[in-house]
Every structure is written in structure tokens, then in C-alpha cells.
């Protein structure tokens, strides 16, 4: 048994773990990094990167079929599904060196390719290594949640961890779950020529602004995705080679492939957290606002911490832990400025409070500033005029923003900046955006907040008339 002592032990080489390891090592700490599976974690290998690569292939196919409005003849796309998946693999391979073992060893990190489990409050065993660390960072991420549907264990099914291994296009893709992953993959596959049925026990995109969600769902349905809401899967079965999902009402949905996209679960099973005195909740590891667990030497970041499950959240958490673990400085996490995006076409992005949440929390003090894409000249020129931005404002400051439309995920960052720095709407209105760009929707939303105050205010009009009389 080899014994190692280190300053920082990071368990998990996904986005958050890699950020902690790189930052801590480059700042002079002795760092050990454990990874029992793939360097880069879920995001690089099974999540963000491959899904966006497949979405890009699907957009290319969709563009060929809908070019006539630009004066270019529509073409029926000749989709090579295997080639599209090779494109996905090539994208992963191009990014992989940034997350590779070789790169991190070059940064001075000791990388051990094995899973780790606690054997005491300060010690972790990984294979034939026992590591004692001053601080331990748990960054083990999450895995697909597979619901206990009777019969599911008797049929082949896909998750995001196996979907991108396909090379033959599904004859009919069934998807259980109408959240972001389910709907992104539904649209991608229908654009690549696959019939798709999505089955959702609740409302599709239930946590999102209903008006924004409706625009997305209408678009997907218009493209041919069958979305069945308020329908619980009661049984899955094989019927002569076809996969059938039977609802509680007895409705039968038949397909060739089944994708489970019903949520995520924190990866804690291998860790033996009891030995470390680390408590869990129903969604992950219990942490305080500084991301410390119930063992003060141990931090949890990213998906395993049980909060918002996004790569950018893991990266944000990494910065908080580095400040605390390396410098002993107080540092707290907050969710107020954390955005989320759904990469359907059009996209849906949210930061801060939705309209319903804002009204529930602030009542009549909330004002809504809105600007529609169909007033944006760039959107009109590119035939992408569906969508809107809606900013929730209280006491002159934005408290939330909902954007649905082309490149919504690109635009929401401005409102994250505003919420992170407690900016006023007047400061947003003061910016200048180049014309014509989609980014103008942000400035125009701020302008919409001030328009009634300037153009419908009788006092302002009286002052202007008075000043005009006295001006030379």
C-alpha cells in the first residue's frame, strides 16, 4: 500500500474538479486528483459537448430543408447518422487534450486513475494508494436517474451516457422525460430524420416561464416531435422487437429505441461518506454556503452538492473553494446570478427569478420590461423573429430575466452580470450595442422599462415645454 500526503485531494476530474486541481496546483499547493472513469467527466464525454455537437448537425440538416425563404432552393437533407456521430466524436477528441491526464500532470498535479473511498475523516483509499489530505474536494458529479418503471430492466434503453455510441439512426425514438436533455435530443433527432415521441409525467419544461416554454414546445411540435404531457409511464416491455411504453391510462407508445431523460442523481455511492462524517440530503451532499460539508475539511462542488446541475455552476463552485481552501478566506456561493439555458432552437435562457417567482416574492412592486424579437432588425433579416426578452424589475434593479429566441443563451450573460453586481436598469440602458445585432434586445428591454416614465409622463412633458420656451 502506497501512502501519500497532500494539501488538496480532488475526487472527480469533471469540470469543477479540474478547475480546482489546475488552480490550486498553479498557485503552489500540492494536489492529487482521482478519476476512475473518463477525464473531463460527464460534460465532455456524455453531456454538454456531444449534445451540442449533435444539435449542430441537426441544425445543418434543418437549414437545408428550410432555405427557400432566403432565395435558396430547399433540399431534402441526406443524413448520414453514423457520420453525424463521428462529428460528435471528433469534437470530443478535439477538446479532450485540455482535460487530459498529460496536461494536468504537466501542471504539477498527481493524477491517479482510480475511484476513491473514505477510510477516515482525512484519508481516502484509491486502489493501492492511501491519501491523507489537509482538504478534500468532492467533485464526483451526477449520473442519469433511471426511474423504477416495471419492465425497464428487461429492455435495452439509452441514457446520455450511451446515446452517442449509436451509429444507426433510430427508426422511432421514444424519450421519457421532457426536460432540457429530453427536448434537446428530441429536436436534434427529428431534424436528423427520426420520428420522436416524448412522454412526460408532468408539464414539459415545468420549471420554466410558461409563455417561453410554450414557444419552444410549439416549435418542436411544428417540426414533428410528438410531446405527450401529464402521462406517467407504468410499464416498459418488448413486443416482438419493438419497445413499448404503456401509460397508467393504458395508452401504448411503440418505438425502436428508448432514451431515459428523467433527471440526474448525485454520484455518492462509491465514496463511503459515513467514514468521513459527511452527511447527504435527498439530492446530494449537504453543504453550507461556503460549500463545506459536515466534515469541515471536506468540500462538495458541482452536481454532487445537490443544487443546480450545470457545468458553469461547477466552475463557479471551484473558484469559491480555491479562495477558501488555499487562502483561508471566507467565501460564499449564491445562486442569484447563475443562468441556465436550454439549447433547443429557439433557445430558452433564464437567470434570477421568473415572472411568477418575482410576483410571488415581491408582489405589486415588480415591473416587467419586455421586448419582442420581431422588433429586432437583425432577427427580421435572418428570419429568426420568434421570441422575446422579459426582465423582472424591483426598485429599479433587475431581479430576473427570461429570454426565449435565437441565441438566448448568449444574451443572458449580460443579465447575470447585472444581478451579480446589483446593477440598475439605468446602467443597462446606458450601454451601446452595435447595430444590427441580436444583442440589441437587451438594451431595448431596458429602454422598455424607461419608456413609460419618459414618454407617458405628463410632468416630463410639461418640463420639456417649459425648457423649450427659455432656450435661446
**Cis-peptide into 346, omega within 30 deg:** yes
pLDDT score at 457: 66
How far from each other are the two terminal CA atoms of the chain, in whole angstroms? 91
Which residue in this structure is represented by grid cell 415581491? 362
What is the secondary structure of 6-65 as a DSSP string?
EEEEEE--SHHHHHHHHHHHHTT--EEEE-SS-TTHHHHHTSHHHHHHHHHHHHHHHHHH
In this predicted structure, the answer to whether residue 469 has a pLDDT above a threshold of 90 is no
What is the Cα Rg of the chain in Å?
25
In this predicted structure, the answer to whether residue 305 has a pLDDT above a threshold of 70 is yes
Domain with CATH 3.50.50.60 in the chain: 2-39+100-144+265-327, 152-263
88-95 mean pLDDT: 98
In this predicted structure, the answer to whether residue 467 has a pLDDT above a threshold of 90 is no
pLDDT score at 463: 67
Q: What homologous superfamily does CATH list for 2-39+100-144+265-327? A: FAD/NAD(P)-binding domain (3.50.50.60)
Q: How many residues does the chain have?
A: 472
Kindly indicate the confidence band of residue 241, based on its pLDDT and cuts at 50, 70 and 90.
Answer: confident
Residues 127-147: tens digit of each pLDDT: 999 999 999 999 999 999 999
* Phi-psi sector, 127: left (phi>0), alpha (psi -120 to 50), beta: left
107-124 mean pLDDT: 97
In this predicted structure, the answer to whether residue 149 has a pLDDT above a threshold of 70 is yes
Higher pLDDT, 294 or 240: 294
| % of the chain exceeding 70 in pLDDT | 98
Residues 29-39: tens digit of each pLDDT: 999 999 999 99
Domain with CATH 3.30.390.30 in the chain: 339-455
pLDDT score at 471: 79
What is the secondary structure of 197-258 as a DSSP string?
EEE-SS-TTTTS-HHHHHHHHHHHHHHT-EEE-S--EEEEEEETTEEEEEETT--EEEESEE
Q: What letter does residue 170 receive in the DSSP assignment? A: P
Which of 22, 83, 50 minimizes the C-alpha distance to 162? 50
In this predicted structure, the answer to whether residue 191 has a pLDDT above a threshold of 90 is yes
In this predicted structure, the answer to whether residue 421 has a pLDDT above a threshold of 70 is yes
pLDDT score at 51: 98
Residue 165, all three cell numbers: 455510441
Q: Any idea which fold 339-455 has?
A: Enolase-like; domain 1 (3.30.390)
Residues 245-263: tens digit of each pLDDT: 999 999 999 999 999 999 9
Kindly indicate the confidence band of residue 462, based on its pLDDT and cuts at 50, 70 and 90.
Answer: confident
318-335 mean pLDDT: 91
pLDDT score at 132: 97
In this predicted structure, the answer to whether residue 454 has a pLDDT above a threshold of 90 is no
Q: What is the pTM of this model?
A: 0.94
380-409 mean pLDDT: 98
Q: What homologous superfamily does CATH list for 152-263? A: FAD/NAD(P)-binding domain (3.50.50.60)
* Average pLDDT along the chain: 95
User: 103-107, 362-366, 381-385, 459-463: which has the minimum mean pLDDT?
Assistant: 459-463
Amino acid at each position: 500500500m502506497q501512502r501519500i500526503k497532500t494539501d488538496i485531494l480532488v475526487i472527480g476530474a469533471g469540470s469543477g474538479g479540474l478547475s480546482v486541481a489546475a488552480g490550486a496546483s498553479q498557485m503552489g499547493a500540492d494536489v492529487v486528483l482521482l478519476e476512475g472513469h473518463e477525464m473531463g467527466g460527464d460534460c465532455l464525454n456524455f453531456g454538454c459537448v456531444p449534445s451540442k455537437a449533435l444539435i449542430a448537425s441537426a441544425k445543418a440538416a434543418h437549414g437545408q430543408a428550410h432555405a427557400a425563404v432566403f432565395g435558396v432552393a430547399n433540399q431534402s437533407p441526406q443524413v448520414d447518422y453514423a457520420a453525424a456521430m463521428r462529428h460528435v466524436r471528433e469534437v470530443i477528441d478535439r477538446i479532450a487534450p485540455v482535460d487530459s491526464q498529460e496536461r494536468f500532470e504537466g501542471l504539477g498535479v498527481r493524477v491517479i486513475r482510480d475511484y476513491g473511498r473514505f477510510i477516515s475523516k482525512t484519508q481516502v483509499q484509491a486502489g493501492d494508494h492511501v491519501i491523507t489530505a489537509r482538504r478534500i474536494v468532492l467533485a464526483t458529479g451526477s449520473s442519469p436517474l433511471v426511474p423504477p418503471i416495471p419492465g425497464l430492466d428487461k429492455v435495452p434503453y439509452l441514457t446520455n451516457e450511451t446515446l452517442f455510441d449509436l451509429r444507426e439512426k433510430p427508426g422511432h425514438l421514444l424519450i421519457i422525460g421532457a426536460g432540457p436533455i429530453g427536448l434537446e435530443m428530441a429536436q436534434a433527432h427529428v431534424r436528423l430524420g427520426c420520428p420522436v415521441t416524448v412522454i412526460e409525467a408532468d408539464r414539459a419544461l415545468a420549471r420554466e416561464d410558461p409563455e417561453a416554454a410554450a414557444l419552444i414546445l410549439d416549435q418542436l411540435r411544428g417540426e414533428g416531435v410528438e410531446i405527450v404531457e401529464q402521462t406517467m409511464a407504468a410499464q416498459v416491455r418488448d413486443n416482438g422487437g419493438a419497445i413499448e411504453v404503456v401509460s397508467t391510462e393504458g395508452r401504448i407508445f411503440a418505438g425502436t429505441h428508448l432514451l431515459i431523460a428523467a433527471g440526474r442523481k448525485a454520484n455518492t455511492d462509491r465514496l463511503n461518506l459515513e467514514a468521513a462524517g459527511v452527511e447527504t440530503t435527498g439530492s446530494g451532499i449537504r453543504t453550507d454556503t461556503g460549500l463545506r460539508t459536515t466534515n469541515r475539511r471536506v468540500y462538495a462542488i458541482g452536481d454532487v452538492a445537490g443544487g443546480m446541475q450545470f457545468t458553469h455552476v461547477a466552475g463557479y463552485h471551484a473558484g469559491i473553494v480555491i479562495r477558501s481552501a488555499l487562502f483561508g478566506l471566507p467565501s460564499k456561493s449564491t445562486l442569484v446570478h447563475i443562468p441556465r439555458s436550454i439549447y433547443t432552437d429557439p433557445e430558452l435562457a433564464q437567470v434570477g427569478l421568473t415572472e411568477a417567482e418575482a410576483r410571488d416574492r415581491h408582489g405589486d412592486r415588480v415591473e416587467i420590461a419586455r421586448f419582442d424579437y420581431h422588433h429586432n432588425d437583425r432577427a427580421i433579416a435572418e428570419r429568426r423573429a420568434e421570441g422575446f426578452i422579459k426582465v423582472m424589475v424591483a426598485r429599479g434593479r433587475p431581479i430576473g430575466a427570461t429570454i426565449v429566441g435565437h441565441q438566448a443563451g448568449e444574451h443572458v450573460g449580460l443579465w447575470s452580470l447585472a444581478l451579480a453586481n446589483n446593477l440598475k436598469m439605468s446602467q443597462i440602458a446606458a450601454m451601446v450595442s452595435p447595430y444590427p445585432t441580436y444583442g440589441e434586445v437587451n438594451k431595448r428591454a431596458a429602454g422598455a422599462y424607461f419608456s413609460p416614465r419618459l414618454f407617458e409622463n405628463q410632468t416630463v412633458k410639461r418640463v420639456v415645454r417649459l425648457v423649450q420656451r427659455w432656450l435661446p
